Structure 1
Amino acid sequence: MMKQLKTAFFIAIILFYACGDDQLNNPTGSTDIPRQVTVKEVVNFSGASIIYYDRPNDENLQYVKAVWTTDDGIEYNQTASFYTDSLLVDGFGEEGSYTVKLYSVSHGQTYSEPVEVTVNPTRPPYMVVHDNLQISPTFMGIRVTAENETGAKLAFRTFKQDEATDEWVEVGTYYTVNPNVEYFNRGHEPDIDQNFRVQVRDRWGHWSPPKDVSCSPWFEMELPKNLFREIALCNLSGDGSSVPDQTGYALPSNFWGHKMHSWSGSATSFDRLYDGEIGTSSQCYHTKPLAPFPHHFTIDLGDKYNLSRFLLWPRNDASNQFRGGHPQIVRVYGASYNGDSPSELVDDINDEEAWLDLGLFYLSRADGSFEPYPGTNDRTAEDNEILVNGHEMTLNAIDQPVRYVRVQFIKAFATSLHAGSIQIGEISFFGAN
């Protein structure tokens, strides 16, 4: 019996290889021409259309193929399996009427005669964004805003005109899929009228017309960090000696901070927030695990400033980048009191007369999402750019300079990893006296 089984096994192997390359590489199945689909409806929207159809009762139909040519002469195609009753056609650079050919394709790869259908996609996303795009001056550059309602993947090229040659020189490219577009292009001379230009591109390579503006960027500087000091603002008594019990880390929600976490050979003191060491994993600000959210600190900037923006770099450690203790939701406050005595600060950020709300910020991944990465090597090139440049938060414009700032951390990317701590490599503030 065993001998017969072995013989059958070897015969099966011989028959498999005897099929030859022709059987393996050429399609199998009926080459009869399949029946055509019947178009039911066309739904048009920005830069694309969906074609709905009825499938024929034909077992020989394997899939439906759509073929169309866009306004720039490029031919595209899309297929849908037998189990699908619709096809998306897109890539149109202009609104208008286009002819799409629908082919029924058999298991033997035989094509039916095409069913021609007219689609009328409306104004494409990159042009819709161009229409509502706004360019305005900001600190040391320009601020670009727009509504991208479809969430299309877009690129924004920013140019500046050379005063000597009148040539337009590219000074930056910004990529986004966010519905609410906002980005800043900085590094330009303040208080001088300059010409800027922005163009929008979609993922098919269509470019919008340029949008130009002449404006004068505002002056700002990076605040000197040698003046920064920690303020232990914690329900101060008259002499500043009252400190709440930290047993079990059950601290008041408006407490100035919490115990710092430390480990052998590493430095996590408060001043690591502003020591200039962005790229050092072991020198960071690391809050105590298990401390309840929100976590926050209060800092004395050393002088009064009109603040423009706040930069934050997470701890430079793979397990913490868009994972772990990487801050995700941040709120910034400035004290209305800006004198020289911290004891006069009110320890209640809900007191609107004492603390000015400078902004609530969501620190997302480059694609706009907030899910922590499952692995340490899952980040994209755009994510890494954020890690190098830091998360930038434009603070609410205020008429009153502030000296004291409270930064509150409402959530981290992952509360399980590192037990919900906050880990920061560096911070920077910008503004003007």
Structure 2
Amino acid sequence: MTTRYKKYLALLVPATIAFVMFACSKVDEYKDIVSGDKTKPGTVSNIKVENGPGRAIITYDLPNSENILYVQATYKINDKVSRQTKSSYYSDTIHVSGFAKKQEYTVTLQTVSRANVVSDPVEVKVNPDTPPYLMAFPTISTQPDFGGININIENPAKADIGVVTIMKDRITNQFEIVNQRFTKLEDIAYSLRGYDTVNLEFGIYITDDWDNVSDTLFTTVKPIFERQMDKSKFGRYVLPTDAKTGFGWEIENMWNGNTGSPGYHTEQPIQPLVWPAVVTFDMGQAAKLSRYTIWNRGIDGSGNWLWQAGAPVTWTLWGRETNPVDETLPNGPGAPGVGQTSPNGWINLGTFKLPAKPSGLPNPAYSNSDLEFWNAGFSYNFNLELPKIRYIRFQCQEIASGTNNFFNIAELTFWGDPR
């Protein structure tokens, strides 16, 4: 059951915002007094307003004076918070933003001279459209997921918003923040996991750069059972079309609990070269899989392999519960989609892609955040409609180096319901 709850939870907000606040934004750039002329400057004229989501763009004509340093806009974004933005003498436009609602607001415009003398005020009315955080709130949808809750939100403005999830603390019985996610993605989808399979109440609200907060959506879900698959049961299951192992990096290294080197490595190059390359293994028990994490070769004694060399960039997982017969797996246009089977009965579990480097730095350069992102591994969800699986084939379609004649993996971990 889902209910909407008015924001008595607003007291939680100061702890939720990770953005830099701009209560008096952009005011430090024009402090210097560079003139002794104390004449009061003229006011702006010919004012025009272009409204947008939670913001407005104001254009104007400046008075005919070379002594003006900037134009200042003062306005309230809600019942409590005032903002002040400034625009250089060299511009005829000023942006006002952060408005909490779709309604009329008053903006006071003043010119300021180089001697820090302020003009008479000119008031202008703006009517911003619905701000992005309120546009996103009605789109929140949730559903039970393995070990938790799946959250989906639309952010049509592609604006910076924060999604905050709260739950009652078992000791204090007060709502506490359990997750915060800040993004400008248009389609937001993620899961929170690690919960027992009992009815749980979650609260979700949206916030923005200016500490505006939506109402709270409360929903009760019962997480779907999952557990980490027992790696002690995993084993190799070599099929004739599998790639051969190279450099002594055996396939068992993919489930030995070590996310560093050595991992699994094919020959380099695979001989004879068959691409996409495939490797097969047995989880030792069948399960309805929920998700998995892949770790790739990172920084070791022989170099930096982040987003380089044999790291899979695109790959497909295939699976089946019984009778793991061999075949050359389909690939490319016309290949079976997720949940569909190959001619010999291998089920397409999904095609996955390596996330881009967060910093965008060219290889081999990387930031500390890039390294942390890489070392944490990359996690992916399985379609909830897939059947139980025991045998898995990893089909590598593209690697970071672009040579597409070998690949390597450090570790794989799967979660699901083996009952």
Distance verdict in 2 for CA 1:84–1:168, change over 3 Å: same
* Cα deviation digits, residues 56-96 of structure 1 (max 9, x gap): 45433333222222214222222223333322211222222
Identity %: 27
| TM-aligned CA deviation for residue 185 of structure 1 | 1.1
Moved more, 60-69 or 419-428: 419-428
Q: Partner residue of 1:208?
A: 214
- AA aligned to 2:283 is L
Distance verdict in 2 for CA 1:398–1:68, change over 3 Å: same
Checking the alignment, whether the CA contact within 8 Å between 2:304 and 2:364 is kept in structure 1 is no
Q: Partner residue of 2:141?
A: 134
Which structure 2 residues correspond to residues 23-172 of structure 1 after superposition, within 5 A? Answer: 27-29=33-35, 31=37, 32-161=39-168, 166-172=173-179
Checking the alignment, whether the CA contact within 8 Å between 1:338 and 1:402 is kept in structure 2 is yes
Q: Partner residue of 1:429?
A: 414
For 1:108 and 1:421, the matched residues in 2 are separated by: 69
* Cα deviation digits, residues 277-329 of structure 1 (max 9, x gap): 12x3x323456677898665433323322111111233342975864359574
For 1:422 and 1:400, the matched residues in 2 are separated by: 28
**Gapped regions of structure 2 (runs ≥ 5):** 1-30
- AA aligned to 1:364 is P
Checking the alignment, whether the CA contact within 8 Å between 2:318 and 2:350 is kept in structure 1 is no
Distance verdict in 2 for CA 1:169–1:115, change over 3 Å: closer
For 1:60 and 1:409, the matched residues in 2 are separated by: 66
SS class of match (1:131): helix
For 1:339 and 1:258, the matched residues in 2 are separated by: 23
Moved more, 79-88 or 158-167: 158-167
* Cα deviation digits, residues 167-222 of structure 1 (max 9, x gap): 434333333221111121111111x2222222222222222222111121111111
Checking the alignment, whether the CA contact within 8 Å between 1:289 and 1:419 is kept in structure 2 is no
- AA aligned to 1:428 is T
* Cα deviation digits, residues 240-295 of structure 1 (max 9, x gap): xxxxxxxxxxxxxxxx44764x5xxxx743322221112x3x32345667789866
Distance verdict in 2 for CA 1:391–1:26, change over 3 Å: closer
Q: Partner residue of 1:273?
A: 254
Which structure 2 residues correspond to residues 356-371 of structure 1 after superposition, within 5 A? Answer: 356-364=347-355, 371=360
- AA aligned to 2:224 is W
- AA aligned to 1:97 is E
Residue in structure 1 matching 2:288, options 302, 306, 329: 306
For 2:406 and 2:174, the matched residues in 1 are separated by: 50
Higher gyration radius (CA): 1
Residue 393, structure 1, aligned to residue 380, structure 2 = yes
For 2:167 and 2:191, the matched residues in 1 are separated by: 14
- AA aligned to 1:429 is F
Q: Partner residue of 1:378?
A: 367
Q: Partner residue of 1:241?
A: none
State the superposition RMSD in angstroms. 3.5
SS class of match (1:173): strand
For 2:60 and 2:310, the matched residues in 1 are separated by: 48
Alignment TM-score, normalising by the size of structure 2: 0.75
For 1:182 and 1:151, the matched residues in 2 are separated by: 14
Q: Partner residue of 2:7?
A: none
- AA aligned to 1:313 is W
For 1:207 and 1:118, the matched residues in 2 are separated by: 24
For 1:347 and 1:197, the matched residues in 2 are separated by: 48
- AA aligned to 1:224 is D
SS class of match (2:318): strand
SS class of match (2:410): strand
- AA aligned to 1:332 is T
Checking the alignment, whether the CA contact within 8 Å between 2:349 and 2:386 is kept in structure 1 is no
Checking the alignment, whether the CA contact within 8 Å between 2:166 and 2:177 is kept in structure 1 is yes
Checking the alignment, whether the CA contact within 8 Å between 2:235 and 2:283 is kept in structure 1 is yes
Larger relative CO (CA 8 A, sep 6+): 1 or 2? 2
For 2:364 and 2:83, the matched residues in 1 are separated by: 36
Give the paired residue count.
Answer: 372
| TM-aligned CA deviation for residue 126 of structure 1 | 1.8
For 1:131 and 1:415, the matched residues in 2 are separated by: 43
| TM-aligned CA deviation for residue 142 of structure 1 | 0.4
Residue in structure 2 matching 1:196, options 190, 197, 202: 202
Q: Partner residue of 1:10?
A: none
Which structure 2 residues correspond to residues 227-376 of structure 1 after superposition, within 5 A? Answer: 227-233=233-239, 235=241, 256-257=242-243, 260=246, 262=247, 268-278=249-259, 280=260, 282-286=261-265, 297-317=279-299, 323-325=307-309, 329-335=313-319, 337-340=320-323, 342=324, 344-350=325-331, 351-352=335-336, 353-354=341-342, 355-364=346-355, 371-372=360-361
Q: Partner residue of 1:243?
A: none
Distance verdict in 2 for CA 1:325–1:259, change over 3 Å: same
For 2:410 and 2:221, the matched residues in 1 are separated by: 35
For 1:427 and 1:378, the matched residues in 2 are separated by: 25
Distance verdict in 2 for CA 1:63–1:389, change over 3 Å: same
